[in-house]
Structure 1
Amino acid sequence: MLALLALAAPRLITAAPLDLLAMSEAEDDPAERPGENFPGSAFFFAQGAFDPVPGTVGRDSQHVMALDAAQTAPAMAFRGLTALDSYRALNCLTSAIYYEAGSEPEDGQRAVAQVVLNRVRHPLWPKSVCGVVYQGSERTDYRCQFTFSCDGSMARMASAEGWARARRIAVQALSGLVYKPVGLATYYHTLAVRPDWAAAMRPVAVIGAHIFYRPPGVDGTPAAFRAAYMGRETQSGPARLTTSAQFGPALGLSLPLPSFAPDIPAAAAPLPGAEPFLPQSAIRPEYRNSGRPLI
């Protein structure tokens, strides 16, 4: 009996304090609270994860987590051939900033704007701002490059204050102000999803609620950004749908090019009270707070 007590005594002495310590840490750590977790949220609570990153627009940033040594995108002013071309480019870029990152801090909005302009300069994408923003918007399978252009988001009225901020950032980006932390990124997605194409890309930075990527190989180097902006904008909004088919049955189709849109399962159940024929979120309910601004 004495031998057994000698073996068990250390466990009896240390078990209670360790359990109490674990409970205390769980209560103090916001990462352990129900409803405040989502895929990729761990780095938000990591010490030093958002230490200021030099090189942002005139100041250090508290919303950027660098993942790679970002190479600055080539600087260029995007000027339309006519006043109408310039107006369309500004309106299209403002729409992308507002609907993709309207609740983000300015760093997140500038990053989205830079990705659009990076694509304009890259030979793999259309050679106009509106062409990049609304690429694939004629599709009915939600595989447009920016989901807001084909999922009904533009039906909601923009707030005057939010639109003015997005427009100001768009003006600065089109005038040639390069947002350095996003580097040569041409892809991004929210931290709440993990699309299949992400594994093949090189992560550049986490900015706000999005993670940004550049392509591997030559396509992700400065030499690839050689396309000139011709200044011609032939559209000012989403393209017309190419088919009259209802949205629901088309969810399983895929694009030959990677898309910003996450893979949406064909059997995704509609949310309670959702409007018919509108795209249904594939994000689990407990993860839908991931788009909250980091301010």
Structure 2
Amino acid sequence: MHFQPTDDQNALRRGVRDLLAARFDRAALRAAVDTPGLDRALWRELAGAGFFSLRLPEADGGAGLGAVEAVVVFEEAGRMLLPGPLVATHLAAGVVPGAATGESVVTAAAGGLVTWLNEADEVLGHCAGAVPVRSVDPLTPLHRLPRPGNAAPDPVAVLLTAAEQVGSAARTTGLAVEYAKERTQFGRPIGGFQAVKHLCAGMLVRAETARTAVFAAAVTADPVETAGAKLLADEAAVGNARDCLQIFGGMGFTWEADVHLHLKRAWVRAEMWLTATEAEEIQAEALAWAL
């Protein structure tokens, strides 16, 4: 069986990409880095585009779409490094008043971390005793819980976080290829060197493998496949950002380049909702039962 995006899903991707390109381009990204804070006007605009109400039934004011469409939307958000507790607010739509319309910003206790706690109007889960910690990502303020909860992570949250990681992995692949075509060394573009070609090819394979796993999990809604998709997506986002830095060389380690922002966000997302260790445990248990 071959799974291909429908015309409507492709149109949704184009629409979201155009919206984010217009409202959160590179200039806006760098402005957000220089002046941290949540843009409430943008948040409401995202809500108007259906970011949070996408999966709500039409009778409740939503679009009545499914997990696959949500994955498309959140992949584009990850590609642009869109800040804010997007996943938690999406989960809260239809539960927390104002979440679907962007009037309320909702965060959640995801494992041992809480993002954007000071900016949030509501919190899903218990955040008692959460203390602020210095975040590696300048676009994601963090609090840490003294005792992480034992509740199973929400599978939709895991899936959408994985989709964000896929978007970041795809973006760093594109950045690496573009730079390899432009940067010259010894009188030729560095993209002509075999070592750079291999790095770019490996990045593409990681990104596409993770994307396939995420979309498959969106279709099946299987918790084991979702855990595997998160694991692959985390590896793709972190690994591709690191390889992109390698291709950029010294330029990639400067504050002005965007590559380090993708790596730092990927590190934070990898610790949200479902960590690599937890995902591996789920996979191992499933394999043990299958034997």
Give the TM-score, by structure 1 length.
0.26
**Structure ranking higher on relative contact order (CA contacts 8 Å, 6+ apart):** 1
